[in-house]
Amino acid sequence: MLSKPLGFVKDELEALKRDGLYNAIRTLEGPQGPWVTINGQAMLNFCSNNYLGLAADPRLKQAAQEAIEKYGVGPGAVRSIAGTMTLHQKLEEALARFKKAPAVISFQSGFAANLAVIPALVGKGDTIYSDSLNHASIIDGCRLSRAEIKVYDHCDMESLEERLKEPAAGRKLIITDGVFSMDGDIAPLPESVELAEKYGAITMVDDAHGEGVLGTNGRGIVDHFGLHGRVDVEVGTLSKALGVVGGYVAGAPELIEYLAQRGRPFLFSSAVTPADVAAAIAAVEILDSDDQLVQKLWANARYFKSHIKELGFDIGRSETPITPVMIGEAAAAGEFSRRLFAEKVFAQSIGYPTVPRGKARIRVMVSASHSREDLDYGIVAFEKVGKEMGLI
C-alpha cells in the first residue's frame, strides 16, 4: 500500500497508461542475439544496441570466465580507496590505443561518465552549449554542474555560434552526442570543433552510438572525421557495440588524472566487475584486429533501410544503422509495436518524453549478427502491419 504522501505515484502511472506512454518491459529468457526468447517464443530482435553481436560472443564469455577465476567477482570498493586492479588499467590502455587517444579512465557506465566529467569541468559561473537532442545523461550531467546551460538547435551551427556570441563569463563547454540515438543522424563535429577553437570553448562529444559503428574498425566519430587531437573530451560506453557494460572518458593524460581526483562517480561508486572488464578488453581486441563485423553491420543497415524506404515508410534523417520508422502519435506507435510483436518481431515504440510529441516511432536496431533471412522476415512484418494500419 502506498502511503498518502506517495499517492501521486498511482495517479502518474494511470496517466501514463491512459496516454499510451506506459512502457511494459519485456522479459528475455536467454541471451541477447539476433533472436531472443520471450514467453517461450523466439522473436526477431530489433531492440538492442548490441550492434556487433558481441554481447554473447564466445570469446568475450571466455575472457569473463577466466577473469573471475583470477580476480574474483567484485572490485571490493571504489578504486580510489580499495586500489585499482591491473585489469582496469589494461582496459584503459586498450581503449586509449583503440581510440587513438592519449589516455582513458573507465566508469561504471556511459551515464556515470557524463555525470563525472561535466561537473568536473564546469560549475557556477561557467556556460555549457548543448545540442537540443543530447542524451538524458548529458542533460543530467549539465544540470548537476550548476553551470548555465544554453541549448542550441539540433545540429545547427549557426544557432550554436549565436549562443557563443552572447556574453558569458567563465569557462565554456560545447557538448554534443556523436550519433543521435533516436534519429541516427551524425553531429557536424568538424564545424563545432572550429567554433570551439574560435570562441575558446572546451569540446566534448559523447560517442556512445559511434564507437563500433563509425570510423576505421569502428574507432568512432573522432576517427570518422579525422579530428584526433582536436576534441578535448570523448565519452564512450562499453554497453553498446562493445557488448558488455561500463563507460569511459578519453582525453589528455592530465584530464584523466584530474577525473580520478574529481569525478564523483569514480570516487563514490565501485568500478565494474573483473568479468565485465575482461570481456570489454576482448571486445576491443576483436574490433582492433578485424573490421568484418563493422562492415556486416553497415551492409545489413543499408539493406534494411532501403527496403523499408521502398515500402513507403519515412525513416527521418538517419545516416547510421539506427533506423527510426516514423509513426506519429505515441498510441499508434505502441499499436504498431504490439502488432509486430504478434508477428514475432520485437521492435520497441519510442514516444514522448524520449522523443517530441507527435514524433513517436519504431526504432529498429539491426545488428551485424542478423542474417539476410532475418532482415527479410522483419521487412515482411513491417509491410504487413503498415498496410493493416493504413500507414503505407
Ligand X SMILES: *Cc1c(COP(=O)(O)O)cnc(C)c1O
Single residue of 137, 176, 192, 320 touching ligand X by CB under 6 A: 137
CB contact set of 220 (below 8 Å; sequence gap of 6+): 99, 178, 207, 210, 211, 212, 213, 214, 234, 236
Do residues 308 and 315 lie in contact, with contact meaning Cβ atoms separated by under 8 Å? yes
Of 120 and 385, the one with the shorter C-beta distance to ligand X is 120
Q: What does 154-197 look like in DSSP terms, one character per residue?
A: TT-HHHHHHHHHS---S-EEEEEESB-TTT--B--HHHHHHHHH
Of 37-45, 86-94, 109-117, 360-368, the window that binds ligand X (rule: CB under 6 A) is 109-117
The nearest distance, CB 179 to ligand X, in angstroms, is 8
DSSP code at position 132 = T
Site membership for ligand X, residue 92 (CB under 6 A)? no
Taking CB under 6 A as the criterion, which residues in 233-262 touch ligand X?
A: 237, 239, 247
The nearest distance, CB 239 to ligand X, in angstroms, is 4
Residue 240 annotated to the active site: yes
Residue of 240, 305, 359, 370 marked active site: 240
Of 209 and 361, the one with the shorter C-beta distance to ligand X is 209
Of 80 and 354, the one with the shorter C-beta distance to ligand X is 354
Q: Residue 59: phi, psi to the nearest 5?
A: -70, -35
Of 145 and 374, the one with the shorter C-beta distance to ligand X is 145
**In whole angstroms, how large is the CA radius of gyration of the chain?**
21
Site membership for ligand X, residue 206 (CB under 6 A)? yes
Residue bearing cell 504498431: 336
Of 114 and 217, the one with the shorter C-beta distance to ligand X is 114
Do residues 9 and 16 lie in contact, with contact meaning Cβ atoms separated by under 8 Å? no
Site membership for ligand X, residue 48 (CB under 6 A)? no
Question: Nearest to ligand X by Cβ — which residue?
Answer: 110
Q: How many residues bind ligand X (CB under 6 A)?
A: 13
Residue 209 annotated to the active site: yes
Of 293 and 322, the one with the shorter C-beta distance to ligand X is 322
The nearest distance, CB 235 to ligand X, in angstroms, is 7
Length of the chain: 392
The nearest distance, CB 343 to ligand X, in angstroms, is 27
Site membership for ligand X, residue 181 (CB under 6 A)? yes
Site membership for ligand X, residue 208 (CB under 6 A)? yes
Single residue of 88, 135, 150, 363 touching ligand X by CB under 6 A: 135
- Give yes or no for a cis peptide into 356 (omega within 30° of 0): no
Site membership for ligand X, residue 109 (CB under 6 A)? yes
In order of 19, 131, 304, the CA distances from 350 in angstroms are 13, 20, 19
Residue of 181, 192, 337, 367 marked active site: 181
Coil, helix or strand for 281? helix
Is residue 53 within a helix (H) or strand (E), and if so which, with residue range?
Answer: none
DSSP code at position 73 = S
Residue of 135, 150, 209, 370 marked active site: 209
Cα gap 77→270, rounded to integer Å: 5
| Mode of pairing for the β-strands spanning 322-328 and 360-365 | antiparallel
Q: On the CB side of 56, how many CA atoms lie within 13 Å of its CA?
A: 10
Cα gap 290→282, rounded to integer Å: 12
Site membership for ligand X, residue 363 (CB under 6 A)? no
Of 355 and 375, the one with the shorter C-beta distance to ligand X is 355
Q: Which residues are catalytic?
A: 181, 209, 240
Binding site for ligand X (CB under 6 A): 109-111, 135, 137, 177, 181, 206, 208-209, 237, 239, 247
